[in-house]
Structure 1
Amino acid sequence: MDEEERHRAQEERHRAHLRAWWSHRQGLDGSLIGAAPADVLARTGWARSVGGSGPYLGLRARCGASREEVDGAVARLDIHELPSARGCAYVLPAVDFALGLTVGAHAPEAEARQAAKHLGVTSGELDDLCAAVHDALGDVPLDPARIKAATGGAVRALGPEGKKRGLGTTLPLALGLLQARGRIRRVPVSGRLDQQRYGYVVWDLDLGDRTPETARAELARRYFDWAAPASLAHFRWFSGLTAAAAKAAVAGLGLVDVGDGLLMPPGLLDDFEAFTAPADPSYALLAGVDGIHLLHRDFGRIVEPADAEGEFGGKRLGGLADAPAHMIVDRGRLVGLWEYDVGAEVVVWRVFGGGRRGKGDAALRAAVAATEAFVRDELGDARSFSLDSPRSREPRVAELRD
């Protein structure tokens, strides 16, 4: 073996070590089987929720939770979908409800400022509307139409200019502010995380005395426990912070650079250095927005260079920012893609690489069969996001079948 070959082999071992470690920290190695959904989210990170099957698939892969168990955790408020990092909806454990709302509060506040600037919606008008909405709500969920009726004339139409900005009335502004303040919460009508029909109830959650700065520092501690080793750029993507705010947030963590700008909390260093990548495959069928990818949103990190040259949907895999379909991962490496064909009630899938093409090995076929049964019998479908439909995914299904 010449020097160049040794260098390539060393890089390959390093990539495999990193990916397997991330997979281990994400609980995708079976280490969290039987754990409660709230404990899994606290340990591995918040689950991105876009009205799709991601939270169900992710929790099942990590702890084996059924849909009924996840829905039960939602009903008990062990976990809940809340606007949080970057103002985006994530499924959070109860221990992080207040933190998530605090770090996400900037989004509805910014929307209210824009409405004041461009649509003449004053802070006084919004305060009055927030009070009216809160008074109208109780323990029985009300949808926006019923809230509007219950608040009399407090909700104002914003006309054509408002519609151009995505705001037909002032009600969404009030709902966003009240959610961010923990005064109300949005409840899925069906009790399911993958169906976006909601009502609202009062909540009055105690958000504590966090300042924006202490909340960002707390988020940074959580993030690097979930995702390390990760770069400051990775944290900025997840948090939505500016470069200066991100540096301030991590300043007290004592992070150690383990190479290539990847940072690690000192308390994890010994475990990281002693960790050995498993020799046997450990397959998981996950949503494209699963945390194994989305905590960093650095798609090339989980794609092997040889696989990056392949194409899907007419685009080079290595040039994509996100997975073009649901993911099949093995020890942190993306090894294939999958979708669910509702009409045929089957998982349609493809794996990369010469040795894994075709039907895959027995462990992979078993993982596909188990996921297929879960989707068919418990979810009914595996939408990527709320507007994903059997018809819209037909091209992806057809390409995976080719």
Structure 2
Amino acid sequence: MTSTVQTATSTVQTLPATETLTPERLRAWAWQRQGLDGSLNGKTSEEVLDHAGWARSVGGANPYLTLFARAGVSREQADRDVKALKIHELPTARGCTYVLGQADYAWALQIGRDAAIAPFKVLARLGVERGEITLLEDEVEHALRETSSPMDPKQLRDVLGDSVRSLGEEGKKKGASTTLPTALGLLQADGRIRRVPVNGRLDQQRYAYTKWGLPPGKLDDDGARCLLLERYLRWTGGATFKQSQWFTAFTVAQSKKALAAIGAVEVPTACGEILWMLPADVERLADFEEPGDEQIQLLAGTDSLVLLRRNSADMFADEDRGKSVLGSTLALQADLPDHPILDRGRIIGLWQYDPGKERIAAWTFDQPTEAVRERITQVEAWIRDELGDFRSFSLDTPASRQIRIDALDEAAGR
């Protein structure tokens, strides 16, 4: 059964019957839209990030697993793509850093520019005028033009001397110990410089800066917001208004204007939520059939499947919603405390990597099938041979995650 609706572009769309859009079907639909069903095997890093969405990077290994899980891209190939500027880590939506493909660089930076400007409110209260930062930006660019090697913040401070002003104890309290980070953020947001990992790896947070000169994008701010929301709905296969605002940080007015401009459609679901979807995806969802066979993946807790809508609670089957680790019910937490093991969009367990024993500590809610055991073995070998460890974020260490490794082992009966 279907129904029709008139969109902002005056095209009549056929909507799937509300009662058919169950949590189970929508989980499998999002899984397929994310390319986790094997449909992206053999694709390039750029193609994966264009299809599944930008990979969140906080000094952790998520970008590598994003590419490996969907297309089998090796860590070495991903690093080569970073070096060749086919993919790059840039600040964009909400001022957060993501790894994205080169076709998105200019407009993605444009989306994040407001976050780069925001520190001026703090600096102004500390007596720093805009002209001082503008002069510092010029001096940073000059310093980077004078060298063929990237320079880290300490090297830049040494070269720039008194041009970098210390903001004292008051500045430290407000998160602005010197004027240099603000200047670097603005230069990066303008595409005049770029930040590069000092050892070429994405799973760490030691950076240096080099000159760039990225041509500006051709979109105005409204156009960039429309493009981001169109990409977001394509990556997710549909999201609530609130979920889209969390990812984009657009105002209500900006979100409504962009949704209207791209002809997005409101689709009611069986659980009562309203999803905003692209017209083409409405048609695809009406014909979508859930896969019958297992499709097992181990993903990072910050994978696009989970993070874009921040809806991990929706990925638990009803019988698993009460599962808990270390006294915390998993389905009640905004973000997963461990990495998920999934089957066609349903979370069926959790995992962490134990580098001391070179193994994955895994807990599945039910007895693991052969497909689950095989995938755990594959990812375990990939981490051991290509990454050495699997960090969630820059400050994640084997020692800091040991309590979680022990808890997963205990839950699994080891």
User: Which TM-score tier does this pair reach, normalised by the shorter chain?
Assistant: over 0.9
Q: Find the counterpart in structure 1 of residue 41 from structure 2.
A: 33
Q: Find the counterpart in structure 2 of residue 382 from structure 1.
A: 390
Q: Find the counterpart in structure 2 of residue 160 from structure 1.
A: 169
Q: Find the counterpart in structure 1 of residue 292 from structure 2.
A: 279
- Counterparts of 1:1-400 in structure 2, within 5 Å, are 14-116=22-124, 118-138=125-145, 139-259=148-268, 260-352=273-365, 356-357=366-367, 360-400=368-408
> Contact 1:22–1:227 at 8 Å: present in 2 too?
yes
**Deviation sequence 1:347-402 (CA, Å, 0-9, x none):** 010112xxx23xx0111101000000000010000011110000000110001101
User: For structure 1, which runs of at least 5 residues remain unmatched after alignment?
Assistant: 1-9
Tell me the secondary structure at the aligned position of residue 274 of structure 2: coil
TM-score by length of structure 1 reads 0.94
Amino acid in structure 2 at the alignment position of 1:185: R
User: For structure 2, which runs of at least 5 residues remain unmatched after alignment?
Assistant: 1-17
CA distance in 2, matches of 1:368, 1:158: 49
CA distance in 1, matches of 2:20, 2:263: 29
Change (3 A) 1:11 1:288: farther
CA distance in 2, matches of 1:397, 1:145: 36
Tell me the secondary structure at the aligned position of residue 335 of structure 1: strand
Amino acid in structure 2 at the alignment position of 1:232: F
Tell me the secondary structure at the aligned position of residue 384 of structure 1: coil
Amino acid in structure 2 at the alignment position of 1:220: L
TM-score by length of structure 2 reads 0.91
**Deviation sequence 1:118-161 (CA, Å, 0-9, x none):** 11111000000000001101441100111112223211111111
> Contact 2:239–2:276 at 8 Å: present in 1 too?
yes
Change (3 A) 1:12 1:211: closer
Tell me the secondary structure at the aligned position of residue 118 of structure 2: helix
Once the 2 structures are TM-superposed, how far is the Cα of residue 14 of structure 1 from its aligned partner? Answer: 2.0
Amino acid in structure 1 at the alignment position of 2:335: D
> Contact 1:327–1:334 at 8 Å: present in 2 too?
yes
CA distance in 2, matches of 1:13, 1:263: 13
Once the 2 structures are TM-superposed, how far is the Cα of residue 264 of structure 1 from its aligned partner? Answer: 1.3
Q: Using the aligned pairs only, state the percent identity.
A: 47
Tell me the secondary structure at the aligned position of residue 191 of structure 1: coil
Amino acid in structure 1 at the alignment position of 2:150: P
Tell me the secondary structure at the aligned position of residue 257 of structure 2: helix
> Contact 2:122–2:174 at 8 Å: present in 1 too?
no
Give aligned pairs, total: 387
**Deviation sequence 1:157-214 (CA, Å, 0-9, x none):** 1111111112111000100110111110000011000011111000111122432222
> Contact 2:29–2:237 at 8 Å: present in 1 too?
no
Q: Find the counterpart in structure 1 of residue 15 from structure 2.
A: none
CA distance in 1, matches of 2:215, 2:348: 44
CA distance in 2, matches of 1:261, 1:107: 29
Once the 2 structures are TM-superposed, how far is the Cα of residue 271 of structure 1 from its aligned partner? Answer: 1.5
| CA RMSD, 1 decimal | 1.3
CA distance in 2, matches of 1:14, 1:366: 29
CA distance in 1, matches of 2:45, 2:129: 41
CA distance in 2, matches of 1:171, 1:256: 45
Once the 2 structures are TM-superposed, how far is the Cα of residue 113 of structure 1 from its aligned partner? Answer: 2.7
Tell me the secondary structure at the aligned position of residue 353 of structure 2: strand
> Contact 1:228–1:262 at 8 Å: present in 2 too?
no
Once the 2 structures are TM-superposed, how far is the Cα of residue 268 of structure 1 from its aligned partner? Answer: 1.8
**Deviation sequence 1:14-69 (CA, Å, 0-9, x none):** 22211111111111000001000011101111011111111111110000001001
Once the 2 structures are TM-superposed, how far is the Cα of residue 253 of structure 1 from its aligned partner? Answer: 1.5
Tell me the secondary structure at the aligned position of residue 277 of structure 1: coil
